[in-house]
Structure 1
Amino acid sequence: MDAMTTLSQTLTALKKEGYTEDFNLKQNYLEGRNFAIRVFADDFVVDKHFRFEGDSSPDDEAVVYAISSVKYQVKGTLVNGYGLYSDSVANELVKALHAKVSPAYSAK
């Protein structure tokens, strides 16, 4: 994938690569929006991730995860804010995501 400069460009490119599910972060699992599935930490891998840093506001900071699950035969994305306003409800799953991530891609 070419270097992406915006979050929306990255999501569009990942959809073209087959990451079509749009995951929501729950307490201890990922929930699919398109399919009624719950994917737990042991059932997925993080294929890629992209970090976006806001120019002037921490509210603009986010990480995009490209996630796949062989068990559920699904590929999708998860967008999660980080920093002060990160979703504290899902800390355990975020820790699992970070544990599965290879060295970061970074976009500005």
Structure 2
Amino acid sequence: MERPVEMNTLSQIMEKLRQKGLDNEIKMTDHGKMQGSINNQIYTPEDLTIIKTYRFEGDSDPGDNAVLYLLEDKKGQIGYIIDAYGMYSSQEGTGFDDFLKKIPTADRDLQELFS
């Protein structure tokens, strides 16, 4: 039985998501709303559930720290939010953090996504 390849880097996980057609990036708009890149869907925190969180740390530069949130919307569509974390976050103001804190979490085993 072939073992799945271990994914340790952000680029490995992002490539796997792309291969599976799960490349709907959800970003904060200039108007303080979250919007999907594929379907232009506008999301409220109640529309989403964080199903997995990955943290990545750079070997030598704290600015390389990143967090990847895999989310599922009420229609069962998978998307993601990616950001640096801590003082290196690319999000300005508190809107992004406030939005994330309101999204419910349901940490799941996502083996079927990456097999």
- TM-score between the two structures when normalised by the length of structure 2: 0.71
Which of the two has greater strand per residue? 1
In the alignment, structure 2 segments of 5+ residues that lack a partner are 109-115
Shift of 1:101: 5.8
In the alignment, structure 1 segments of 5+ residues that lack a partner are 104-108
Structure scoring higher RCO (CA < 8 A, sep ≥ 6) equals: 1
Shift of 1:48: 1.1
Q: Which residue of 2 aligns with 1:92?
A: 98
* Larger radius of gyration between Structure 1 and Structure 2: 2
3-state SS in 1 of match to 2:25: strand
- 5 Å-filtered alignment, 1:15-34, equals 15-26=18-29, 29-34=33-38
Q: Tell me the amino acid that sits aligned with residue 48 of structure 1.
A: K
Aligned positions, number: 101
Identity %: 28
Shift of 1:17: 4.3
- TM-score between the two structures when normalised by the length of structure 1: 0.75
> Cα RMSD between the aligned structures?
2.4
Equivalent pair of 2:66/2:83 in contact (CA under 8 Å): yes
Structure 1 outlier segments of 4+, above 3 Å? 15-18, 26-29
Distance in 1 between the 2:36 and 2:27 partners?
Answer: 6
